[in-house]
């Protein structure tokens, strides 16, 4: 029962403060899951984010379901997911009510404009943490501890997305295939 309460409270906090959506939630999830509760390592967290990206639904909800199931089975998944979505449901209903009632107030616009840079900062922080954990060499060719194959896959994916704007699904599939070839077939180059 204590674990279920901890799962609910951890994901309630994530749901309450992850303003800006999934990417903004990543540092909050990392803080709760890796740092405060020790439910997984940073490497496992990076894998969790990857899996959450590949499955339908918001990252925070997918993470809550996965971590809850891992820690306490189906009841854990349900409790963690409820903890994650409950604040959003309440906040959205409250904001919708207030927005309809006070739509002409500039205070609301000003507050939203002030939140945007903070959300971008949270997303950038999460991205840097993921880059750091993804590029550290576990196997294969490395220069100063950096996994060269991971960096090359990242650069190819990044450049392809920026230049040709292909489907992200295609990029994920090709990156997964490249990772399989480099790490399984060639042993990390």
Q: What is the pLDDT of residues 27-68, one digit of tens each?
A: 899 999 999 999 999 889 988 988 888 888 888 999 999 999
Count Cβ neighbours within 10 Å for each residue of 85-112 and write b for 16 or more, e otherwise.
Answer: bebbeeeeeeeeeeeeeeeeeeeeeeee
> Which pLDDT does position 72 carry in this prediction?
96
CA distance 45 to 133: 9
Q: What is the pLDDT of residues 93-131, one digit of tens each?
A: 998 887 787 767 787 778 878 988 998 898 898 888 888
Q: What is the pLDDT of residues 125-152, one digit of tens each?
A: 888 888 888 888 665 566 778 888 899 9
Give residue limits of the domains in the chain.
Answer: 2-135, 137-189
Residue 148's contacts (CB-CB under 8 Å, 6 or more residues apart) are 137, 140, 141, 142, 189
């Amino acid at each position: 029962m204590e674990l279920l309460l901890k799962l609910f409270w951890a994901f309630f906090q994530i749901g309450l403060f992850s303003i800006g959506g999934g990417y903004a939630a990543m540092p909050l999830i990392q803080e709760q899951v890796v740092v405060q509760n020790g439910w997984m390592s940073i490497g496992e967290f990076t894998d969790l984010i990857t899996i959450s990206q590949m499955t339908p639904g918001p990252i925070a909800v997918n993470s809550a379901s996965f971590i809850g199931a891992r820690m306490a089975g189906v009841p854990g998944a349900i409790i963690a997911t409820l903890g994650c979505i409950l604040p959003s449901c309440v906040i959205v209903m409250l904001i919708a009510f207030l927005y309809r009632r006070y739509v002409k107030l500039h205070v609301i616009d000003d507050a939203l404009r002030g939140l945007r840079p903070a959300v971008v900062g949270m997303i950038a922080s999460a991205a840097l943490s993921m880059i750091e954990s993804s590029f550290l060499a576990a196997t294969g060719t490395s220069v100063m501890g950096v996994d060269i194959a991971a960096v090359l896959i990242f650069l190819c994916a990044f450049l392809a997305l920026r230049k040709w704007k292909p489907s992200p699904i295609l990029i994920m599939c090709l990156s997964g295939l490249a990772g399989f070839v480099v790490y399984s077939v060639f042993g990390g180059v």
